[in-house]
Amino acid sequence: MPTWGENNRQGYFLQNGGYYFVVSDNLDLAVLGDIYTNGSWGLRTESSYAVRYKFSGNFNFRYENLINSLKGLDDYAKTSNYNIRWSHSQDQKASPNSRFSASVNLGSSKFFRESQNQFNVSQTQTNTLNSSINYSKTFVGTPFNMNVTASHQQNTNTEKITMTLPSLTLNMNRIYPFAGKGGVQKTPIQKMGFNYTLQGQYLINTTDDDFLKSKMFETARSGAQHRTGTNTNIKAFKYFTLSPSVNYEETWQFDYIQKEYDITNNVVVTDTLRGFKSYREYNAGISLSTNIYGTFNFKYRLYIGMKEYTLLDFHRRSTFNTTSLRDSEV
């Protein structure tokens, strides 16, 4: 059943009236609506889902078409705002080698501040909206594991939005390709281990006005970075360990900055251009180490009352009774 009321901008209204549906044993749906006498309206859908031992979550979509005042008056205004929320979690028993989760809260920066629905009043002071969708997987039987994340940060004051769609990380655990039979590592070559990491990102900086428009993708930035390295150790001079290492890094950029000097205007002109560019960094090092062991004998003394005892005294005496000593003597 809806609630009714009145305000100065939209007139009389009915809010949060609707119907609840049981779609199936795993899914439900609630559809609620608002209607105002000046033509404003709102719609809200709420749905929960669950599959036992696999996953569960809920989805919420809100949309409001608000008209302030009357058409023809100076304070007449019409706005459309929306908000999307999605939460998803996976049961740990569903897939031990992969995991998917989501926590989404995005929409119009002005949604909660301009909303006339009484359920949204408590969130009018919300300054940020954040979202994260994550998928991770371990490739069984290989040294590789992967993590993919899509994230969203939104400032409702400045209406600026930052998104990564997506951010990819691929790791290869250290492997020893030259190890002997059964993984034996005796020689310096057999001890050589290699690792590898790939990090890629597609970054978008935009605003509410350009969200999901072509301009949003025109300013996007993307790139990838590869890292690998190897090291081993060698016995030297009988008591020392020699440890050489080599690291290599390569960065790929799919857009780059070009600067030119404008002689006529005496300024530096900066342009952002699309195209593939790459650069590499590498380093090598070697270290020499050893361990020093030693034994030091200390003569400990214990004072009980006015008497002095050494550790040797305790060793020679079969019993040592302190129960007869006064507290002041211990």
Written as six digits, the tokens of 44 are 């809200």
Written as six digits, the tokens of 38 are 């000046």
Sketch the domain layout of the chain as residue ranges: 1-126, 127-293
DSSP letter (8 states) at residue 323: T
Mean pLDDT of the chain: 84
Look at residue 83 and tell me whether its pLDDT is greater than 80: yes
Query: What pairing do the DSSP bridges indicate for beta strands 301-304 and 307-310?
Result: antiparallel
In this prediction, residue 248 carries a pLDDT of: 95
The answer to whether 15 and 118 have CB atoms below 8 angstroms apart is yes
In the chain, DSSP assigns E strands to 3-7, 11-24, 27-36, 41-51, 55-68, 77-90, 98-107, 128-138, 144-155, 160-175, 193-207, 221-231, 234-236, 240-262, 267-289, 301-304, 307-310
Tens digits of residue pLDDT in 249-267: 999 988 888 889 888 888 9
Task: Centre a 10 Å sphere on the Cβ of residue 13 and count the other Cβ atoms it contains.
Answer: 21
CA distance 40 to 80: 10
In this prediction, residue 318 carries a pLDDT of: 46
Among 68, 70, 56, smallest CA distance to 28 is for 56
| Degrees to nearest 5, angle at CA 113 with 108 and 118 | 110
Going from the C-alpha of 146 to that of each of 27, 87, 93, 97, 174, the distances in angstroms are: 31, 22, 19, 11, 15
pTM of the model: 0.72
User: SS3 for 210?
Assistant: coil
Written as six digits, the tokens of 80 are 């459309």
Residue type, 312: L
- pLDDT confidence tier of residue 104, bands split at 50, 70 and 90: very high
In this prediction, residue 148 carries a pLDDT of: 95
The answer to whether 4 and 14 have CB atoms below 8 angstroms apart is yes
CA distance 227 to 271: 29
Tens digits of residue pLDDT in 108-167: 888 887 777 777 777 777 788 899 999 999 998 899 999 999 999 998 888 899 999 889
